[in-house]
Amino acid sequence: MAKNPNRPLSPHLQVYRWSPQMAISIFHRATGFVLATAGMMTLLWWLSAIGGGAESYATFQQYVVSAGADGTVLQVASNWFFRLVALAVTFSFFQHLASGLRHLVLDIGAGYELKTNRLWASVAFVAAIFATALVALFVASRFLGVL
């Protein structure tokens, strides 16, 4: 097939200039995937604990429900990988919530002006970071005794 040099280029990510609106749309999908994956893994863990018998389910409850009276939950929470995953899931929750509320406002028909749309996309990022920081500070001070 012969190439016609006069044909327009296909629009792709290298052609577009990145904006907060594009980034928040991609982040909304990515955080939805993170939340769905974390939720599915927790559900599968719960179902396998139920299928594993009383001892297995007691272990599941100890990790998920218990306040760590015997120290096991706090030992898990002190693991740096667990903290990183918990922080990522917390950020994903708040980012998905903030961008979902933004999409709800857009579905109503408001906020389509360029400046307003860009502002609310940026506000959603800032709100997610702020809410994640508040939760991290609360958990660090209340449960881990760090602060």
Q: Where are the domains of the chain?
A: 74-147
Q: Output the pLDDT for position 121.
A: 95
Cα(10)–Cα(67) distance, integer angstroms: 55
Neighbours of 88 (CB within 10 A): 14
Q: Which runs of consecutive H residues, i.e. helices, occur in the chain? A: 20-51, 54-64, 72-77, 80-108, 114-142
Residue 28 annotated as part of some ligand binding site: no
Residue 1, pLDDT > 60, answer: no
* pLDDT tens readout for residues 82-140: 788 889 999 999 999 999 999 999 999 998 999 999 999 999 999 999 999 999 999 88
pLDDT tens by residue, 26-78: 999 999 999 999 999 989 999 999 999 999 998 888 777 655 555 555 666 66
